Structure 1
Amino acid sequence: MSTQRKIIHIDMDAFYASVEQADNPELKGKPVAVGGSKERGVVAAASYEARKFGVRSAMPSSLAYHKCPNIVFVKPRFDRYKEISNQIHEVFQTYTDLIEPLSLDEAYLDVTQNKKGMESATMIAKSIRNDIKAKTGLTASAGISTNKFIAKIASDYNKPDGITLVGPEKTTVFLEQLPIEKFFGVGKVTAEKMKALGINTGADLKKWDKETLITHFGKSGGFYYEIVRGNDNRPVNPNRIRKSLGAENTFDYDLIEVVDMKLALEPIAKTVLTRLEKSKKFGKTLTLKVKFKDFSQITRSQSVTEEIRTFDQLIEITFGLLEQIDWNLFPSGVRLLGITCSNFGDKDLSVIKKGHQLTINF
């Protein structure tokens, strides 16, 4: 008997911006940027109408305005995004208890067994998307496959408002024709390095043996060897015991001034706080990650005696770490900033739930 899992990855379309458009009909059809203003700040999220002009998240809002003079800037409302996210997860829970959230707007679902008794994973994904649309007015894209890795790639394949099935018989062709930069886990720098070695697609990657990949890419080489063959045995884990929670942004343009870095860190800090509140875990150690234009990076950490529970605490410690850096010692230009909270005080020993695997129709 086959024991293949049936995994769905749900990813909301331009979530923050879509919530704003749904709540304010005057914004529908218009290019919207969540965060920032014409003069200063950083775009936290952009609607698809804005993306057509080249506007992206983490972009300086002044540049976004230059690219799209008709863009509408709105202030982030993270409490509202969390509220809508909870409604979306209520939909998930009517289908399965095996839900692994990745953020407010995306999650893995194992529907090998499901509460509706539906045999087709594709029909389940369609039903979930319809329920989300009915409940929130928002669209979601879905990827369906036998494992988490392929399902996540598939959910991005027909965005927005799309659905992509990569069944067992299609896995090999799907991965071999995929551009290397589309592989989840292959970042911009690694993609450039791979292309320099003649690896442009999954088919190119598949020609390399594991030892050679490890020689060129370290331990990640073993990961790349497995994923291009569709090997990913990770279960959907609704009770992951996490040692840290964080968020980071890679910027389209290097940040030079500390004041711009602070503006860029604010939406990152809000995302971290949202994730801490959702997980009900609060730590006593905060780590700031800074990656420079030459891709070198540093971290700075600070531990405090009480749990970090508020945005003011998060941003105060983060700004303090940023100001301690002697910028004369490092290359000019910051391309990535990240914040991680760790040193959780709780002792979460809950048992990881794993779904019994059966064969069902896609």
Structure 2
Amino acid sequence: MSSDLPIRKIIHVDMDAFYASVEQMDNPELKGKPIAVGGSGTRGVVSAASYEARKFGVKSAMSGMQARRNCPELIFVRPRFERYSEISKQIKKIFYDYSDKVEPLSLDEAYIDVTENKKGNPSATLIAKEIRERIFKEVGLTASAGISINKFIAKVASDYNKPNGQKTVNPEDVLQFLEDLDIRKFYGVGKVTAEKMYQKGIFTGKDLKSKSVAYLEEHFGKSGKSYYYIVRGIHTSEVKPNRTRKSLAAERTFNENLSSEIFMLEKLEHIAEEVSKRLHKSKVAGKTITLKIKYSDFTLQTRSKTLPYFISDKSIILETAKDLLYQEKLSNSVRLLGISLSNLNTEKTKKTLTKKEKEVSVQLKFEF
């Protein structure tokens, strides 16, 4: 890696089974039992599962019925997002005791840049340990952490010693760590991409590193270049305290499958109204409207349209969503509809890699 690249000390903190852990904390009778936060009915979906439930293969985004089949003793709990948000704020306050460079990814995870920190502690590893201890003592929940020179490696590392553990990838160990890494562990490489990589003989970071940037771009499109640099430890994205929102959405799962567009119009109106409310609350507008359709066989389809101007008005969102709905015939009955707006007026031009960032040499060592 280039010695001219910025040297950072990044911590990724990830709460352990956050929603489920909050429910077990608030209701001691649930401790040690397999629980799922979400719906248990025919249309229900698991939002989160406790580690006791995960042993049975229960996981987020799984249908409630499948989760029940996997684990007959599973206890379903209705989600309480206000409570999760309240706990999340307590946890973030702890983060800010160490650095102002905090980038929340969701209610249960965040990046913290502690290169220069409020405690004057040169060890990111010790800071991560202290943060996790404070979360447990002050909030009552466990967290895991990954520590390394950039956001990508820190996030991958935080999953290594879950639950209630942490892993540090020191600067001198970065390249070997990435070479040994199973391609499925690369953050951003989904199931479909991993299968495609397998077909091309790419099973580990070392296999990925052996491919040229031209080869990766040819077979994996614009993501190919990012794979080329990431496996070499080059990931220059900074921790952004005010992370820019890239999209805003709302969706609904129906109690009964809908088979006609006419029956969907009323549902779309409610969804468009919710999206508009969220846009106004966030004081943003967007140009690209995307209609999300999930069919009864769980296949997913999206249809998008980009307007020449920014919008946040419900009526325009709804009319555009209607156009997208009628754009082509539905292939099956529908269990879910969603509307999202992207290409928001908050987005900034993405920074391209400089020539220096593309160089590959030896990473400087420093106390970690």
TM-score, normalisation: structure 1: 0.78
Query: What do residues 36-76 of structure 1 show as CA deviations (whole Å, max 9, x unaligned)?
Result: 02544111111111111011111110111111011100100
Counterpart-to-counterpart distance in 2, 1:11 and 1:232? 20
Q: Who is 2:367 aligned against?
A: 361
Change (3 A) 1:109 1:245: farther
Mapped pair 1:232 → 2:235: yes
Report the CA distance between 1:341 and its aligned residue.
3.9
Q: 1:258 to 1:43 in 2, by over 3 A?
A: farther
Aligned-residue identity in percent: 56
- The CA deviation string for residues 192-239 of structure 1, in whole angstroms up to 9 with x for no partner, is 000000001111111100001111111111011011111001111112
3-state SS of paired residue (2:116): coil
Match of 2:210 in 1: 207
How far the C-alpha of 1:288 sits from its partner, in A, is 3.2
Q: Report what 1:154 is aligned to.
A: 157
Partner of 1:90: 93
Indicate which of 191, 196, 201 corresponds to 1:198.
201
Name the residue aligned to 1:354. Answer: none
1:187 counterpart letter in structure 2: G
Report if the CA contact (8 A) 1:4-1:359 is conserved: no
CA distance in 1, matches of 2:130, 2:324: 50
Aligned residue in 2 for 1:252 = none
Structure 1 residue 136, shift from structure 2 partner: 1.3
Q: TM-score, normalised by structure 2?
A: 0.77
Q: For 2:46, what is the secondary structure of its paired residue? A: coil
Alignment of 1:113-192 (within 5 A): 113-192=116-195
**What corresponds to 1:340 in structure 2?**
340
**Structure 1 residues 231 and 133: alpha-carbon distance in aligned structure 2, compared to 1, 3 A threshold:** same
**Judging changes above 3 Å, is the alpha-carbon distance between structure 1 residues 338 and 15 closer, same or farther for their aligned structure 2 residues?**
farther
Letter in 2 for 1:361: E
Secondary structure at the counterpart of residue 144 of structure 1: strand
- Contact kept, 8 Å, 1:122 with 1:144, in 2: the verdict is yes
Which whole-Å CA distance do the structure 1 matches of 2:77 and 2:105 have between them? Answer: 25
TM superposition shift of 1:169: 1.0
Report the Cα offset of residue 329 of structure 1.
4.5
- In structure 2, list runs of 5 or more residues that go unmatched: 349-363
Q: Call closer, same or farther: CA 1:339–1:82 in 2, change over 3 Å.
A: farther
* Corresponding residue SS for 1:44: strand
Could you give the per-residue CA deviations for residues 235-277 of structure 1, whole angstroms, max 9, x where no partner exists?
Answer: 11112333424599xxxxxxx9459xx9xx9xxx9xx99xx69
Given that 2:246 and 2:347 are in contact with CA atoms closer than 8 Å, whether structure 1 keeps it comes out as: no
Partner of 2:358: none
Cα distance in 1, alignment partners of residues 340 and 104 from structure 2: 18
- Kindly indicate whether the alpha-carbon contact (under 8 Å) linking 2:175 and 2:233 is maintained by their aligned counterparts in 1: yes
Q: Rg: which structure is higher? A: 2
The residue type equivalent to 2:367 in the other structure is N
Alignment of 1:298 onto 2:306:
no
Q: Distance in 2 between matches of 1:213 and 1:323?
A: 33
Distance 2:337 2:55 in 1: 25
Report the 3-state secondary structure (helix = DSSP H, G, I; strand = E; otherwise coil) of the residue aligned with 1:18.
Answer: helix
Do the aligned partners of 1:5 and 1:359 also contact (CA within 8 Å) in 2? no
Where in structure 1 are there 5+ consecutive unaligned residues?
Answer: 249-255, 308-313, 350-357
- Structure-2 separation of matches of 1:232 and 1:343: 24
Matched, 1:19 2:22: yes
Q: Within 1, Cα distance between the matches of 2:68 and 2:323?
A: 27
Contact 1:112–1:360 (8 Å) recurs in 2: no
Q: Which amino acid aligns with 1:68?
A: C
